[in-house]
Amino acid sequence: MPKKTTFDPQDPAIHKILRKVSSFKELTAAEIKSLTTVLTMWQYKPDEVVCREGQIGSTAYIVADGEFFLDIMDRGIKSFLKGESFGEIALVDARPRMGTIKAINSAKLLSIEADDLNNEELVSPKIAKKIYQGFARSISSYLREGTTLYETLDVLMVQDGGCAPGYNPVTAFIAEYLCRADRTVFIAAEGFKSVVTNRAIDYRCLVYDPELYRQIEHVPGVLFSPPLRDARGANFRSERYPEFKNEKIQKKAAQNIIDRKVKVIIGIGGNGTFYGIKALSELLPKSVQSFFIPVTVDSDVSGTDCIGEYTGVEVGSEKIRSYMADSRTHKRIYIIEMMGARGGYHALRSCLGAGAHLAVLPNSNYNLKSIIKSMQDRKNLVIVVAEGYKVKERKRKGYKGNAAEFFRDELLKAGLKTEKRIICEGFSRDIRGAQPNNLDIMLAQRMARNLSQLIKDGKSKLMPAVLTDREYSIPFHKIDTDNTVSPELASLANRLTRE
């Protein structure tokens, strides 16, 4: 315990120390002398604690001699020397201390209590106003100094690629499991782009524990993670960053990761994000653990269920059902483009879920004459076309329309003649921002738990994987990003030519 010691309020040496305090620079010599009457002197031994992180306080301190050091979340932030002050926030707001402060050596502090500063019989309102104004300046500087929190990043998450339901839930669950394991979790504000620009403002600190959050919520970029569990969209990603394919930029990002002493890096997204995190992992030392979490509506990573695919199919099927109802009512033909760049996972399963008449998948060849023949006598029709359908051919021909329009034009060129109105719809991008359903939220939690165990076990270059009741992991070198669909399942989505 520190010892309370006596001092002479009229001692010029004390006045000199107080004049060095930045918060007191507006005080006159007479006001400085007046202030000394409400100060208390304390003697500290080396390693003796002044205040602990999370404690409620109402005292501010001025270093009279020696040195003191501030830790926030077990991170050394800064030292305080003679004439410097700390703890000013406690005079303004009775909130938990943001960090722990210890004496480095045999040292002394002058303390001032909020009750004394607010007592007009002890301190005149004029002096108190000047002191509070000075403390406000100091508190503002503390907020700026909070960026030191980002000098070293223990666990860093990086989201990138197209948005999908489940980005935010898996982010929240990863933060929960790792914070419980006493890891400090950060996330890039705008995916790989932030890792390249690498400023303090490019990162966020995710905090799961509400008590800890109360202590440091004023530090820039500190966010409470639990609300992300049910949140739509992806709060921490860029609108793609194609420049990251450049090896020079990848090397810059890798060096930034090394400089910030990252111990674990986690890529979250689809196939493009995987290739980005895989490339980074090859440029980083073995001491940096690297992982990938698949979040993609189109399930373009094979060997596992992908976060976002369940919600995507559910919402996609409901959209198709709406088109089918309109098709029956107005006797129309709808050709709808849905997500599915490679295998056509989303388009196929959405078609099956809704009971549409045909799923046209990427790189598949269809007997257009047979389709046209089956269309002639139908009163209504809904065809689902994956966005990746003959994409190379469309690019080669310079075709400007979407996949649904291309398939319509193929039918017309092959001889389709109908008086019915043909309506082509591009895929609904709002599917990306749909509310994650229970299956995707549960999948996010399972992958986060799996990931936390892999990190604890010292593993690296792995993707947590989940298939039904099985949880396992896939090494980076075995991950396949061309998730094909079985011919049997594809044939099940053809209710047109088989009838």
Say yes or no: 406 and 341 in one domain. yes
What is the C-alpha to C-alpha distance for residues 111 and 360, in angstroms, rounded to an integer?
A: 75
Specify whether 262 is located in the same domain as 336.
Answer: no
pLDDT of residue 497: 81
When divided into structural domains, the chain yields a total of: 3
**Which one, of 148, 15, 124, lies nearest residue 73 by Cα?**
148
Rg, the chain, Cα only: 31
Residue 453 lies in a domain: yes
Residues 297, 162 share a domain: yes
**Residue 497: inside a domain, yes or no?**
no
> Is residue 472 domain-resident?
no
Strand partners, 463: 474
Q: What is the pLDDT along the chain (499 residues), one digit of tens a residue?
A: 899 999 998 899 999 999 988 888 889 988 998 889 899 999 999 999 999 887 888 899 999 999 999 887 676 777 899 999 888 887 777 677 878 999 999 999 999 988 888 888 888 889 888 888 888 777 666 555 556 788 899 999 999 878 899 999 999 999 999 999 999 999 999 999 999 999 988 999 999 998 888 777 778 889 999 999 988 988 887 667 889 999 999 999 999 999 999 999 999 998 889 999 999 999 999 999 999 999 999 888 888 999 999 999 999 999 999 999 999 999 999 999 998 888 888 999 999 999 999 999 987 778 899 999 988 888 899 999 999 999 999 999 999 999 999 999 999 999 999 888 999 998 878 888 899 999 999 999 999 999 999 999 999 999 999 988 899 999 999 998 776 777 778 888 888 886 4
Distance CA 309, CA 436 (A): 10
Residues 346 and 284 in one domain: no
**What pTM was computed for the model?**
0.76
- Structural domain containing residue 351: 310-434+487-492
Specify the pLDDT at position 105.
94
Same domain, yes or no: 365 and 427: yes
Do 111 and 11 belong to one domain?
A: yes
- What integer pLDDT is reported at residue 54 of this predicted model? 79
3-state secondary structure (DSSP) of residue 227: helix
3-state helix, strand, coil in the chain (%, to 5): 45, 20, 35
pLDDT attached to residue 327: 94
Are 327 and 300 within 8 A, CB to CB?
no
Could you tell me if 140 and 18 lie in one domain?
yes
Does 86 lie in the same domain as 29? Answer: yes
d(CA 425, CA 408): 11
- Residue 389 near residue 364, CB atoms below 8 Å: yes
Q: Are residues 274 and 421 in the same domain?
A: no
Helix, strand, or coil (residue 1):
coil
119 and 18 both lie in a single domain = yes
What is the three-class DSSP state of 51?
strand
Domain CATH for 347:
3.40.50.460
8 A C-beta contact, residue 438 and residue 444: no
Q: Which residue in 346, 312, 341 sits closest to 403, CA to CA?
A: 341
Would you call 475 helix, strand, or coil by DSSP? strand
Q: Are residues 78 and 170 in the same domain?
A: no
Give me the pLDDT at residue 163, please.
87
pLDDT at 147: 62
